[in-house]
Amino acid sequence: MKTDNTGLARFSIGQFGANVGVILWGAYVRASGSGAGCGKHWPLCNGQVIPRAPSVQTLIEFAHRLSSGAVLLLAVVGALLASRRTPAGHVLRKTAWAIVALTMTEAIIGAAIVLLEHTGISVAERRGISITLHLVNTFALLVALSLHVRAAHGRDPQFPTGWRAWATVAVLAVVLATGASGAIAALGDTLFPVQSLADGLIQDRSPTSHLFVRLRVYHPLFATVSLATLLFGVPLFRRGRPPGLATTLTKVVPLLAALQYGLGVVNLALLAPIPLQLIHLLLADVLWCSIVWLMAELSRDEARLTGAGATLALPESAT
């Protein structure tokens, strides 16, 4: 069987899109209170392979499990294709198998959340730990997917060196902390809805409020730090760079950050309606992946300029 660059590149894009869809559906499961739709059962749903006479919540949760299984299958197929159609040691193989590992970890964390009953209306404080671990793994999976798309398009996903390496870690850490605080805030909004913004602010400051409610205030603070970091820090990477994708991304990333911040303000003012929560999460994923692409592109340009690296292109055809 023969293939070419275009086929592998298209598969990587489709795989990326499918995973983003599953991430958004998982957020809908949490926001709609459907996480306990299959009860304390995994991988079965309410003790059944296919639930009979399911409720709406059960259908929502069961659909998420099916879609999660589908992306795991896609990950395995993608890894096998990469292993078959690229030479040993090719970066595409590494990113493909990283996706498999992180997708499996995603499933394990999801199973633990169900078995520990950190779903539905559970207000157990340990649920904050599980949802944070889930978000960190999801963001790591998005990194692997982004680098896999780059590799499938012949763009070597290198990590920055020198001061750019420390700057990259700092930027990603700030954005990751913002995402984690956002996950806790969204959980608090789901479990403890309010009738007005004023009521919500009063609850946030009350020492008798649940931990998830008191932690909500930290998300705007992290978001402000993240916005400042991306608005004023990212343009510094543009200095001394010739025009290209990297310089374009140094302009796009701050704009996405500003848009995300504005959307967060609207989300807060409207008391976090589910559709806006999903849009907010989608833009967060886009922003995160854009930062990953920017850092990888800067590293690629640096390697090419110094002669320290070369792009790993896929063969035109392979058997």
pLDDT in tens, 9-19: 999 999 999 99
Rounded-to-integer distance, Cα 230 and Cα 226, Å:
6
> What does the pLDDT look like over 255-276, one tens digit per residue?
999 999 999 999 999 999 999 9
What pLDDT score does 315 carry?
A: 40
Domain boundaries, the chain: 1-155, 158-307
CA distances from 233 to 143, 173, 181 (A): 20, 14, 21
150 token code pair? 């780059």
Query: 165 pLDDT band (50/70/90 cuts)?
Result: confident
> What is the Cβ-side half-sphere exposure of residue 146, based on CA atoms within 13 angstroms?
21
Helix, strand, coil % in the chain, rounded to nearest 5: 75, 0, 25
* Cis upstream peptide for 43 (omega within 30°): yes
Length of the chain: 319
CB atoms within 10 A of CB 46: 16
pLDDT at 304 over 80: no
Q: Residue 87: enclosing H or E segment and its boundaries?
A: none
> What is the Cβ-side half-sphere exposure of residue 152, based on CA atoms within 13 angstroms?
26
3-state secondary structure of 130: helix
> What does the pLDDT look like over 190-200, one tens digit per residue?
999 989 989 98
pLDDT at 57 over 70: yes
Q: What is the pTM of this model?
A: 0.90
